[in-house]
Each structure stands twice: as C-alpha cells, then as structure tokens.
Amino acid sequence: MQNGGETHFGYQSIPLEEKQGRVDDVFHSVARRYDLMNDVMSAGLHRAWKDALVTAVNPPKSTRPFKLLDLAGGTGDIAFRVADGGGPNTHVTVCDINAEMLAVGAERAEKRGLEGLVAFEQGNAEELGYADRTFDCATIAFGIRNVPRIERALSEAYRVLKIGGRFLCLEFSAVDVPGLDRLYELYSFQAIPRIGAMVTGDREAYQYLVESVRKFPRPKIFAGMIERAGFRRVSFRPLSGGIVALHSGWKL
C-alpha cells in the first residue's frame, strides 16, 4: 500500500488515508442535531457569517442563469440562502461526502419548496465528478479544514469554475483581539465539547471541532494555498474579531 504520509485529526497525528473515515464518523454521528448545535454553540452567529458569504456570492436577482457549487455543503444552509436571494435561474448543487448530512439537507429543501433549485449530490471535494468550467461560483463553508488533501480540493474547485468565476471560503480562523482571544480559547475548550455532549451526545465530535480549528493554517498561509491553486486577486476578511475569515479568489 502506498503511504500517503501523516496528517492531523484534531490534535492526533494519524495516517493521511485514515482522516476521511474519521471525519465521516463525526458527521454521521451529529447530522440530525448539526443545525441545532450550530445555533447553540455560536449563539446564532453562524447565521451572520453565512449571510456575509452569500452577500459576497451575490447571486443575480434577474433571470440570468447562475450556477453555484456549494462544496461540503452538508445540510444546505448556504444553498438555501443563495436560492432565496437569487433569481429564478439560480441553481445550487450541494456536494458533500456524507449521505446523512445530505439527507437532512434534502428534507429541509423539500419543506422549503426548494427541491427544484437545489440539488444534493454525494461527492468528494478532492475529486469532483463535474466537467471543467461548469460553475459560476464555488463556495465552501466550514468544510475545508475537514478535507484531508486541501490542495486537491482547491485545484478541483478551480477546475470546475468557469473563467471569471469566484471561489469563496468561510472558515474558522485566528482571533486577533486581545482579551477576546483568551475568552474564545476558554469557551472553545471548556464549553463547546460539553455543550456538544449535551446536544448531540457526542463529546468527541466537538473536541475534534475545536482542535481542528486550531490546526487549520493561519489565514495568510491559507490565502497562499488558494493562490497556488491558480486563483487570482486572492483576499480574505476577518469576521467577529477573527473567529472566522472569509476568503476569496477569482479564476481569471
């Protein structure tokens, strides 16, 4: 067997080829309570961060066709916001590796009457089953740090975007406000795993979450990775004191 090297699952060092299976177990376990937990854990703030991403996507209100690929799109939060904000020819494909997260998303889409505008498709962000230059925009929210081979996912996003298309990524980042950093650290490590245990019954899943946030590259380093995938005019914007960063790059 070819050795793919080592990576991190939270703070644990593990063989690269084991990471996806471990990540899949986390999201299988929490899928049914995932949306509730996001609200509880972030006190609703994740909604504002997702709104900021969708404002940057800026789907056309007109009848102009617009195709968005939401990678690691899970239960559909980004997709629903874009479908609600866009015109009648705005279509969103949610691509996620986890069937359980997609099933929750598909049920939510049906309740909102959005089945025609949002498609839920199982796939790996590292190896997309879409033709080159298919989408006008590709997003990934709180997904990239779970993908074992980030560079592959970035170059796949680049490949499936049309020329002139935009890549947008929302991810936890590094808090840079004195005082808030200490508070955030305490909240992350003392409170989140406990709240996760109460709400989802899976403490380890939320221990992984806080550790994986700390292991994710700092925003400038991640911006460099986006650039190396071929994107141009790469930039990022810290939100909520750097708890989260919104990254952007264009395929020009």
Q: Please report how close the Cβ of residue 25 comes to ligand SAM at its closest, in angstroms.
A: 10
Q: CA–CA distance from 252 to each of 40, 50, 103, 231, 234 (Å)?
A: 40, 25, 35, 7, 11
Q: For residues 133 and 252, what is the distance between their CA atoms, to the nearest angstrom? A: 12
Query: Does 243 sit near ligand SAM (CB under 6 A)?
Result: no
* Among the residue ranges 3-11, 68-76, 181-189, 234-242, the one whose residues contact ligand SAM (CB under 6 A): 68-76
- 223: how many CB neighbours lie within 10 A of its CB? 20
Residue 241 gets the label, from left (phi > 0), alpha (psi -120 to 50) or beta, of: left
Q: Please report how close the Cβ of residue 8 comes to ligand SAM at its closest, in angstroms.
A: 14
Among residues 68, 101, 104, 157, the one that binds ligand SAM under rule CB under 6 A: 101
CB 86 within 8 A of CB 61: yes
Considering beta carbons, is residue 69 or 97 the nearer one to ligand SAM?
97
Among residues 37, 67, 86, 98, the one that binds ligand SAM under rule CB under 6 A: 98
Considering beta carbons, is residue 89 or 239 the nearer one to ligand SAM?
239
Residue 56 β-bridge partners: none
Query: Does 77 sit near ligand SAM (CB under 6 A)?
Result: yes
Hey, what's the torsion of the CAs at 221, 204, 81, 140, to 10 degrees? 30
Count of residues engaged in binding ligand SAM, rule: CB under 6 A: 20
Nearest CA to 79 out of 68, 63, 65 is that of 68
Q: Which of residues 147-186 bind ligand SAM (CB under 6 A)?
A: 147
Among residues 126, 181, 204, 227, the one that binds ligand SAM under rule CB under 6 A: 126
CA distance between the termini of the chain: 39
Site track 11-50 with ligand SAM (rule: CB under 6 A), x = hit: ---------x--x---x-----------------------
Pairing outcome for strands 232-239 and 244-250: antiparallel
Q: Please report how close the Cβ of residue 250 comes to ligand SAM at its closest, in angstroms.
A: 21
Instruction: Give residues in contact with ligand SAM (CB under 6 A).
Output: 20, 23, 27, 72-74, 77-78, 96-98, 101, 124-126, 141-143, 146-147
